[in-house]
Amino acid sequence: MHHSFTFAIPYLQLISQDSRRAAFAKIASGAVVAAPAVASAAVGESPRFSVFGIIGDGTTYSEGAAYGSDQSSSVYSPYSVYGEAGPDSLYKPGRSEDLVRAKSVIAESLVRLEKLPAYIEKKEWYNVKDELTRYMYETRGAVRSSAKTPAQKAAAAEFFKAIEATYTNATLKKQGPCADAAAKSKELLSKYAASI
């Protein structure tokens, strides 16, 4: 009994190895059969290639972009797959929905600036800095995109300076100057919001 059992274990291992080998062989043969379908060569045709879209077959893709040689219109950069911005572009600057989005970002920023005095009073500098970094990137973009007149651009610059002073004073843990800068930034953003 002991001998038959020790013989049975290697025999079972041999069977399982054979079945694994057979399974891997089937997978490998399937990959070999599928590989020609992936390559874009037809029977009897030599392989196509392109070197930087200049040398070789200009109708094939080179590194996925062909450096503009495969585009129907000119591209703004030889390394880009995107065409020049023009009348056929999907994005058109100055859309009304862009101003609506900018106004909503500015409104949310005013809500966040409202939280700063309580954080400054409690000397929670990390919360002050978090509020300024959490959403102010969006605020900068919204203010810059909505500033059209020289007066609006000047007001935007003053607001940015006040925000930077608030952040700097929070980093330095200077409560008075930080509170003054936070109040000034809220005031300036409120005036700016009313001007757009």
CATH number of the domain within which 157 lies: 1.20.120.290
**Amino acid letter, 84:** E
User: Do 188 and 158 touch, CB atoms closer than 8 A?
Assistant: yes
Cα separations (Å) of 191 from 7, 13, 117, 187? 90, 80, 19, 6
User: In total, how many domains does the chain have?
Assistant: 2
* Segments forming the whole domain that contains residue 60: 47-86
Domain boundary among 86, 111, 143: 86
Tell me the whole-structure pTM to 2 decimals. Answer: 0.58
Q: Give a yes or no: residue 110 inside a domain.
A: yes
Residues 101 and 168 in one domain: yes
Residues 149 and 185 in one domain: yes
Residues 58 and 140 in one domain: no
Q: Give a yes or no: residue 7 inside a domain.
A: no
51's CB contacts (< 8 A; 6+ apart) are 62
Residues 66 and 144 in one domain: no
Write out pLDDT tens, residues 30-76: 554 444 444 455 677 766 666 665 666 656 554 455 555 555 667 66
Report H helices in the chain: 2-38, 96-114, 116-121, 125-146, 150-172, 175-195
Residues 156 and 66 in one domain: no
Which residues of the chain fall short of a pLDDT of 50?
A: 11, 32-39, 62-63
**pLDDT score, position 188:** 97
Residues 66 and 119 in one domain: no
Q: What is the DSSP letter of 67?
A: G
Q: Give a yes or no: residue 109 inside a domain.
A: yes
Bridge partners for 50 per DSSP:
56
**pLDDT score, position 35:** 46
